[in-house]
Structure 1
């Protein structure tokens, strides 16, 4: 019975690890900002850092200027949203995007990561 309990616990830990609860690459602001996604070695660098960014850096409440300092110039933006390309996700040819929603005071209200 003890062996079954240990095996079950190990299985649960693996499930959490594979579902993105564990970070892949530590977020590095300089690497993120300077990643030339046209180079093959950088195709997934932002995607690989995304879990670390979300888990270790609270973006909600930060100002527009703070976000630019951390992530650099967005790939696209409008009055209420900033968009960053995350590159390839590792799931076939899917790519990821980070959408940062900002309010009229230029403060982050929400972040969304999408894959598609």
Structure 2
């Protein structure tokens, strides 16, 4: 009974972050609905985003889906939890360096 529950509770992805795949992801294509979500753990765990400047972030992640003077937002696609989608938020200080990373789901 336990193996049945484990295999049917959802997929845990360990997708490696790939900058070109992230930047070129067609998140409206069914096979890519959750591509950026799947890469989030590896991105946050293996890339030192805090301290990067805006140019470095754009080189790594591409142009943001929306931005303000002190914030970049990247759409993550579907989170695999129902129909929830998510956003990666990067907050910059007055020197244009990332000081905070946040992921929202809703």
Larger radius of gyration: 1
Deviations for 1:46-90, whole angstroms, at most 9, x for unmatched residues? 000000000000100001000000000000000110000000000
Number of equivalenced pairs = 97
CA contact (8 A) 1:88 1:96 kept: yes
Which residue of 1 is the match for residue 35 of structure 2?
45
Does 2:57 match 1:67? yes
Cα distance in 2 for residues equivalent to 1:93 and 1:58: 30
Does 2:86 match 1:96? yes
The alignment yields a C-alpha RMSD, in angstroms, of: 1.7
**What does 1:1-116 correspond to in 2, within 5 Å?**
24-116=14-106
Q: Secondary structure at the match of 1:55?
A: helix
The alpha-carbon deviation at position 23 of structure 1 amounts to: 6.0
Q: For structure 2, list consecutive stretches of 5 or more residues without a partner in the other structure.
A: 1-11
Cα distance in 2 for residues equivalent to 1:23 and 1:35: 17
Q: For structure 1, list consecutive stretches of 5 or more residues without a partner in the other structure.
A: 1-21
Cα distance in 1 for residues equivalent to 2:86 and 2:28: 15
The alpha-carbon deviation at position 42 of structure 1 amounts to: 1.0
Normalising by structure 2, we get a TM-score of 0.86
The structure with the greater share of residues assigned to helix is 1
Q: Please identify runs of 4+ aligned residues in structure 1 that moved more than 2 A.
A: none
